[in-house]
Structure 1
Amino acid sequence: MLSRKFIFGLIFIVIIIFISVFLYINISNNDAKNSTSIQDNSKMLTSTDILGKYNNISLKRSELTTQERQTLFEVESQTYNAIENILTKRYYDSLIKDFMKSNNITNSEIAEQMFIQKNSTVTNEQVKKFIKENSENPQLKGKTFEQQMAIVKPYLDSQAAKFLVAQAILNGKIEVSGVSKPLAPKISIDIGNSPSRGPANAQVTIIEFADFQCPFCAKAHPIIEEILNQYKEKVRFVFKNYPLIEIHPEAIPAAIAAECANKQEKYWQMHDSLFENHRKLGEETYVKIAKSIGLKIDEFNKCRKDQQIHDKINAERKYGQTLGINATPAFYINGVQFIGTLPKIELEKIINNELVKH
């Protein structure tokens, strides 16, 4: 059974993740209402700001390359988030201290457990449902029901703590004032002739740079499918190759297989099958998939030797590098970059926010 310290540590991490997503959505949803405030915060980030000099030449933000803008944004975000996390922890710790004082409790771990239980509305039925839906989770698998309950109940109870912290942010009890929140650079991505699904004039465009051998990309694939089925004509999805050739030897061969399937108008069938088989990519798998989706094998094999296909994939990879991509999957949602597999609930919030703007 996991220790209480581990469980409370897990709770705090979950709280921090929730705050980051919640704060991003809340700020975005209030863009119109708080335009004056945002403009004030942006004064430090305007295109006239001079970042520094080299050889007596001033460098302004407006002169940065796309990659430089993204790099600077990431560093500034780390500073902002670090301050926010410190404030959040201090606020949460103060709640526990006040609870200890008002209830004459001297043990902080016991106080935190009681505090969370007091503010939680989680039922046993909800716990049982969670265990059933996550039965393959390594932390739950092989354990007795009582052991699973001991892990899951505190995790779900942490939702109450999330709500308290979220309310504190809304009410201004937690507020970063030392630095301005950096605004994510909005980048115009050249879609070119990349495969896409959904209408060209969709309100939301999701562009993914991915690697067919990347396990995180494979994990993101079914989430994207659900999003496309859910939003239908409101979302356009574009796929671009970004093979991580240093660690994934089959990334380029798989991308070539997909591009050659596209020549026979079977791109998405190959795309889906490659992700489903990302752990066993290789010549045998490519040919097997090609046959199963009805490709003309001779044309498929000839295409895979075409240098133009190789050049297209390498060009997309180099283009991704100029954007500052350093990991996959990399998503651009209406021009704003998000690195890593996004949970469906987070994708929904971002998309819904973009739809409100339009």
Structure 2
Amino acid sequence: MYTSSLADAPAIREPQHAPVAHLVRGGVTEGVHHGSVVVLDTDGRVGLRLGDIEAAFYPRSALKPVQAVAMVRAGLPLDGELLSLAAASHSGEERHLAGTRRILELAGLTEDDLRNVPDLPFGPAVRDAWVREGRPPGRLAQNCSGKHAAMLYTCRLNGWPLDSYLDPEHPLQQAIAEIVEDLTGQRIARVTVDGCGAPLFSVSLHGLARAAARITTAAPGTPEARLADAVRRHPELASGSGRDVAALMRAVPGLLAKDGFEGVEVAALPDGRAIAVKIADGADRARVPVAAAALAHAGVDPALLTEFAGEPLLGGGVPVGRVRPVRSLTPTSWPACA
């Protein structure tokens, strides 16, 4: 049942994004990335806002931890690597494929029961090897297959229909929608279809940050804490080797972080500090340094974040600049632009 204490759904409007990062080359601003950023303090209050943090938007895969919590609340018995994989946008490495097969085996199902779209692996090196070997796109290789396998397992445990598990009216998706609203603290603005075929719920950037904070501050043993522990202990299962979001969790003790397509990132610490970022043009080159700068603004030691300050821009093979967060986000210790 939905609670009466939920805030209204965020307004569906053109977001009033603001500049969040500058592309600086040779001391000249060559480009500007717009977006929105929210930083929450330990008490849940907004410590920083840039752009439009209350407009409806799609978190894309950054919502997967919330979806995984909903499945655990519905009885999904996974922990550790397999629970991390249930919240993954994985690279398609063999460990991801093997883990997804294991979840399906536990449910008494096979790859043929998946309803996500067939695709090549998301990780560039894995994808290149896949193509060289002449392997076609597959449902197991698609980056959301762990989530879909977990959805099927949850359905099997609850006696819910399997073939229609992606229908927004399906009991599984209704259960997920309820937890999305519970953890974000607001009603869903709109439901559409994500790239993998699963329902996608529109909330606000502020709501996404609240949900992450709710997960990381939950009591030990709760579905939220189980999910946070699994992803933090096995970040490469939720992403892949060399992925920035896994490296960020390795670098910052206790951090839970998840990225999403179209320039989305959310992260939260065990004390409730949280950040959420949306880059308007979807550029990862801005997402990574802006998210890192937001974490520094939240109080994370900037020395832990220098790896995520943005790749240098090269001119003739020599660094001549970088993507730099705007001044209101940038710590004094951030690498200088050329």
Shorter-chain-normalised TM-score: which range? under 0.3
TM-score, normalised to structure 2's length? Answer: 0.25
State the structure with bigger RCO (CA 8 A, min sep 6), 1 or 2: 2
TM-score with structure 1 setting the length: 0.24
Structure with the higher helix share, 1 or 2: 1
